[in-house]
A = this chain, B = another copy of it.
């Protein structure tokens, strides 16, 4: 029962609740003298406003939701960390949710967000999400949603992504510049738009700039699968001089194969990855990678969220923005 409320303060001071409320908000109606008294007592009594009451009254929650397929992921955890930082600065709390790539859980999570009347939602779609109706329901409730990384294909929504097209091109350009001739490129889930974009731009850049390069494309389901693919190419087909990895998972799988075969990087095999930047530095020489920063994407997503919120009422804008990427040279290419 140590909870201090406006009422308690008002009783002690013999003032009305509304006066206390206004004094604490520095309302011009209240005299400096009163304000001072109130603020001092509030501090002494450790007054902390009840968020539920405020939310109920103002219909405004100071809470954001953030849903990812999984928290344990180099990209997402830095994204989360980034958004959390900004949220705190703005006085918002963050409710974190994992969908585990399960559509039922995803919907449950959305419901939780609605029940908590979150002000906004940062959402990364789970792999299998086709039906966007739950998300559209958020829109009806005026819960601003920013989609990131894995985003719906329909238009008219707020989305932030890595500039996947340029990511593919940067990677291809780096390989061509290094004069590599026989490339094994391993991509992830072929159904995701992110994979499609990266692969298409990667391929097209080669077609455009270097006809002399041999390009083998494979898709890996997980780390083990990437290892298998790499092992097969590296043992059977000894001509491959470079392996391109679309993600950290694939890089990890490929590196297992390379270490197992005790191949020297880059003299015997070159490696290039698309990565958040952590995994590539675990190896020696560090792997050269095209940076896709969850941290930067988080900052962008947050910025966009704040714009959505400030742009309140007027017209319903929807942006699609991207984070540009760059090549970070290690010693593997």
Contact = CB atoms under 8 A, between A and B. Distances in A.
B105 A88 contact: yes
A3 interface: yes
A141 B3 contact: yes
A97 B88 contact: yes
A283 interface: yes
Interface string A1-28: 0110000000000000000000000000
A56 interface: yes
Contact of A141 (B2, B84, B94): B2
Interface string A302-326: 0000000000000000000000000
A130 interface: no
A193 interface: no
A95 B46 CA distance: 22
Contacts of A51: 52, 115-117
Contacts of A137: 46
Interface in A52-92: 52-53, 55-56, 61, 63, 70-74, 77-78, 80-81, 84-85, 88
Interface in A275-308: 279, 282-284
Contact of A52 (B2, B52, B88, B140): B52
A134 to B, nearest CB: 11
Contacts of A96: 80, 84, 94-96
Interface in A176-229: none
Interface stretch (A106-114, A146-154, A233-241): A106-114
Interface in A112-144: 112, 114-117, 137, 140-141
A260 interface: yes
A98 B72 contact: no
A312 to B, nearest CB: 15
Nearest to A251: B282
B48 A52 contact: no
Contacts of A112: 88, 93
A95 B141 CA distance: 21
Interface size class for chain A?
Answer: 35 or more
Given A71-B84, A141-B3, A50 B115 contact: yes
Contacts of A74: 72
Nearest to A114: B48
B52 A117 contact: yes
Contacts of A271: none
B71 A77 contact: yes
Contacts of A255: 282
A252 interface: yes
Contacts of A266: none
Nearest to A55: B52
Given A88-B105, A94-B96, 13 more contacts: A52-B52, A52-B116, A71-B77, A72-B78, A80-B96, A81-B98, A88-B108, A88-B109, A93-B97, A94-B95, A95-B95, A96-B96, A256-B282
Interface of A: 2-3, 46, 48-53, 55-56, 61, 63, 70-74, 77-78, 80-81, 84-85, 88, 93-98, 105, 108-109, 111-112, 114-117, 137, 140-141, 252, 255-256, 259-260, 279, 282-284
